[in-house]
Amino acid sequence: MVSKKRLGLVIDLERCAGCWTCAVACKAENNVAMGNWWNRVLSPPGKEQSQYGIPSLTQDGSVDMIFRPYACMHCQNAACVKVCPTGATYKRPDGITAQDYSKCIGCRSCIAACPYNVRVFNWEKPVQIPAYDSDHVGNIDVPERPKGVVEKCTFCMERTDKGELPACVAGCPSHARYFGDLNDPNSEVSKLISNRTGEKYKEEFGTDPSVYYLPTRQRQTLRIGVATKGAGLAALAEPQTSSAPFYTGQCCATVERSESK
Amino acid sequence: MTPIKTKTGTVWIWVLGLIALVGFGMWIRQLILGLAVTGMNNYVSWGLYIITFAFMVGLSAGGLIVSSLAYILKLEHLKQMAPVGIVAAVACVVGAGAMILVDVGHPERVLNILLGGRLTSPIKWDFFILAVYLVVGLFELYVMLSKKWLNRTLAAREHALNILAWIGFPVAILVHSITAWIFGLQIGRPFWNTALMAPIFLSSAVVSGVGLLLLVAFIGDKYKLPIPGLDEQNRTFLTKLLSSFILLDAFFLFCDLFTSVYAGGTAEASTAAKLLTGNMAPLFWLEIILGVVAPFLILVMTKTKRSMGWQAVAGVLVMVGVFLKRINIILPNLLQLNVPYAPGVSTGRFSTSSPFHIADQSSFAVVGNYFPTLSEVCITLGVLAFVALLITVGIRLTMAVEKEESVAEAGFHEINVV
């Protein structure tokens, strides 16, 4: 059975250097106004327990902190889509949560509904960085937004519809981002998720996000440890995962590992 | 059917009209400049407007629920109060609609909600039910006050009002439940996401609505206005209703907060802690003292419970209390993000300053802040003044009709039942 297409993003936390290139590429590509960001890089403490990004200390005393690039999760069961009274926010058949700026009345229910706080509102007429005024730097196909509408990451649908990669993926200098069809088991993203135990963020809200994060080596070790204590077998079948040297090179490391399995 | 004119009344109407006009002007300014003139941002994306909207919806309840109850439970004496109750309900619903209009970024597009909106949206349900509520209320007023209906027999009018009450009562319940579900159905906001949200909205709606009626009764008595139905007997009924609903409301609130804090360590618990002991505690305890303890004492103490003045004080206190309650339900969860890590959310405020943000500084905020701007306050006061104006005009109409009625009915030795 051919399943429906579901576009998704995989972000490798082990490779992310926290340089913000994805955020800036997104902002430039989509002409996001000053004050608003569709994409940003959070700096949570590794255990994500202490608030406000203060690094937490691990048991051996080293500082534990990760970078978590963060934008719309394009949830399959999107809370924002459900509450939108006009249908301005909608799911496309390919899984993208899109926004129709001409329908949006600006009631901001979707901002309140989004468990991930990724939606932004144009409180005033969008002002671009002054240099942008005379020269449309970003993608000319991206529609302009009036004041008073909500906007957010669109997986750069103007690019991806043509088969190109989203700006954040194309621009990532450390190859930490992958884009593809999550429903295709042979796609790069699906393989990465299954080989490296990709996880959805804040899954407890039940919105079924389409963005997966590949855990850092340290966290993966921890996860395998936990798994061994519990069900065990799946983890034991892959004993090298925790000790193997990880990702010193490019993404081909993934291929090597999946072949060696 | 000429409205009764007094000098104080005329000044009152002019003052209210002026405030409403200033608010309208500020709204035009907001339409031009965008919602940047408010204190809201991407962090706290709903503010005074939505708080006042929820408050106004609640305020309208008392009127319609009490009036409908009079017909449904066949409380003959209470029926006299129905016109005033419905005037208050209709005026407040108009005010609630106005608050939504000033809150949205594109008020000219609100009809998009009707034309091909999405059926799963609580805002869409609310839009429908508020429209139905308004139509039912206006039609009830038409039956009570229009020449056409007054010329028909009393039985015919009673029959029509009975049917309308049976429609109006469930609609009133639905209005509050749906308004509560705008918040209560949000899985992303753990503190809002409680099944108790609709019951809480209903109970505090009755509390504030009855409070408004008591205030109207006091003003009517002070200026010797013959407002129909707000006599000693009905006021006693209202105070009993009010004191029991204050208790019910407080019980619901306790259940909600107790469930939130008991386990500890959850998102609800930290939001509730913000309310009980954190930076929102002053507002919360003010709500408890002004909205629960003080009015309840006034309404049960034999010294004060029969005094019209004290009843009005209790009425004002519960309205203030319920307004604070709306703040304390809506703001804490907006101030609490699920993912609060640095650098936080982009606030959307960069080139314009707000009370907590200086223009051209960082657009990120880890800690949420909200304080209404002068513009926001003016627009809100404008809407409130407009509602007060509608209530004044509406009550004048009911008084005018009442006067004609009593003159007409005196001849037939009939009991005055309107």
For residue B261, pLDDT beyond 70? yes
Give B412→chain A minimum CA distance, Å: 54
Residue of A nearest to B111 (CA): A86
Residue of B187, B333, B349, B362 best to disrupt the A interface, most CBs of A under 10 A: B187
Fill in the DSSP letter of residue A213: E
Tokens of B204: 């505090």
Fill in the DSSP letter of residue A52: T
| Least confident among B47-61, B217-231, B395-409 | B395-409
Tell me whether residues B109 and A103 touch, CB distance under 8 A. yes
Residue numbers in B near A53 (CB within 8 A): 341-343, 366
Tokens of A13: 């936390």
Give B55→chain A minimum CA distance, Å: 17
> What distance in Å separates the CA atoms of residue A35 and residue A146, rounded to the nearest whole number?
15
What are B194-206's pLDDT values in tens digits?
A: 999 999 999 999 9
The bridge status of strand A7-12 relative to strand B364-365 is: unpaired
Residue A121: Cβ-neighbour burial (10 angstroms; 0-12, 13-18, 19+): buried
Residue numbers in A near B185 (CB within 8 A): 83
Residue numbers in A near B113 (CB within 8 A): 85-86, 105
Residue of A39, A49, A77, A86 best to disrupt the B interface, most CBs of B under 10 A: A86
Give B284→chain A minimum CA distance, Å: 22
Question: What is the mean pLDDT of the segment spanning B270-295?
Answer: 94
The residue that leads in pLDDT, B75 or A172, is: A172
Q: Are B109 and A105 in contact (CB under 8 A)?
A: yes
Other C-beta atoms within 10 Å of B84: how many? 28
> What distance in Å separates the CA atoms of residue B313 and residue B319, rounded to the nearest whole number?
10
Q: Are B201 and B177 in contact (CB under 8 A)?
A: yes
Residue B148 Cα to chain centre, angstroms: 31
Question: What is the mean pLDDT of the segment spanning B308-317?
Answer: 94
Residue of A nearest to B108 (CA): A105
Which of B100, B188, B351 is opposite residue A205, by nearest beta carbon?
B188
Tokens of A160: 């991806």
Residue A36 Cα to chain centre, angstroms: 17
Q: What is the mean pLDDT of chain A?
A: 80
Tell me whether residues B42 and A120 touch, CB distance under 8 A. yes
Cβ neighbours for B335, distance < 8 A, ≥ 6 positions apart: B43, B44, B274, B280, B368, B370
What are A79-107's pLDDT values in tens digits?
A: 999 999 999 999 999 999 999 999 999 99
Q: Give the max Cα distance, chain B.
A: 78
What are A201-229's pLDDT values in tens digits?
A: 999 899 999 999 998 876 555 555 444 44
pLDDT at B354: 64
Taking one residue from A and the other from B, the number of pairs with CB-CB distance under 8 angstroms is: 185
Residue numbers in A near B334 (CB within 8 A): 112
What's this model's pTM, rounded to 2 decimal places? 0.88
What are B33-52's pLDDT values in tens digits?
A: 999 999 999 999 999 999 99
Single-letter residue type at A41: V
pLDDT at B10: 87
pLDDT at B348: 87
